[in-house]
Amino acid sequence: MPRFAANLSMLYPELDFLDRFEAAARDGFRGVEFLFPYDCAANELAARLRANGLQQVLFNGPPGDWGKGEKGLACLPGREREFRDGIARALAYAAALDCPRIHVMAGLVPAGTEPREVRGTYVANLRAAAADAAKQGVDLMIEPINPRDIPGFFLNRQDDAHALIAEIGAGNVKVQMDLYHCQIVEGDVATRIRRYLPTGRVGHFQIAGVPQRHEPDVGELNYPYLFDVIDDVSAQCGWDGWIGCEYRPARGSRPGGTTAGLGWLAPWR
């Protein structure tokens, strides 16, 4: 049976961020993820998790200057020091939140750079970060993201992510397989799950309806079928990770809007 985590950056937009923990627990979630914890004190977040019986399953490393459009630093030549400092900061939060995974966003390919230099920077950065994370037993996630949502993003495809992981050569770097992005870029989602999950290199799933990124029961992907595929493959290969619910509720910020849209979860709760 898949385990679902509420993405608190996207779900419950009708509530203040810190109130979303309680709402997720009330709706039956046992795990949560979010993008960035850095505006909140780690002990405040840890207290929310504890008070609501929740497990932190994932959050993102610092992305650079998000307000100016940066989407990660991993592939940016010349920003290596800042990248490494960001990983240290993320690892401190991971320790405080007892979180086993950090998503390391790749970044936008800088204009005028050689593809080989960008790839080399990415691989070297991930290798160094993985060594730091391994000391703490933390896995680093890399996520292919569709170029419609983030034009110019370095990593778009599952096969590229798996090739990069082979090149990085660290056992604690894994793919964050976001089925929303996967469907938009590549399709053939069930076959890709069957191909990649048994490799042990998929650390986390995320889901949303395609194309609007609303609830998973709206759109062109048949999620009940895909959950059965994940269950089936997991039973064979022993995968026991989480599926992050990373969607924008169709009812937006209307009071109770997120909870009202969770009917799709009922058979899996």
Interface residue with ligand LASSHYVV, options 145, 161, 189, 230 (CB under 6 A): 145
The question of whether 143 is a catalytic residue gets the answer: yes
Q: Is residue 143 part of the contact set for ligand LASSHYVV (CB under 6 A)?
A: yes
b or e along 153-188 (b: 16 or more beta carbons within 10 Å of the residue's beta carbon)?
bbbbebeebbebbeebebebbbbbbbbbbbbbebee
Q: Is residue 156 part of the contact set for ligand LASSHYVV (CB under 6 A)?
A: no
CB of 9 or CB of 234, closer to ligand LASSHYVV: 9
Residues 5 and 176: their CA atoms lie apart, in Å, by 14
The question of whether 114 is a catalytic residue gets the answer: no
Distance of CA 212 to CAs 108, 149, 160, 167, 247, Å?
23, 11, 25, 34, 9
State the nearest-atom distance from the C-beta of 243 to ligand LASSHYVV, in Å. Answer: 12
Q: Which does 60 bind (CB under 5 to 8 A by kind): Mg ion, ligand LASSHYVV, none?
A: ligand LASSHYVV
- 233 — alpha (psi -120 to 50), left (phi > 0) or beta? alpha
Q: Is residue 206 part of the contact set for ligand LASSHYVV (CB under 6 A)?
A: yes
Interface residue with Mg ion, options 158, 172, 206, 258 (CB under 5 A): 206
Residues 217 and 36: their CA atoms lie apart, in Å, by 27
For binding to ligand LASSHYVV (CB under 6 A), which residues are involved? 35, 60, 103, 105, 143, 145, 178, 181, 206, 246
Report the catalytic residues: 143, 246
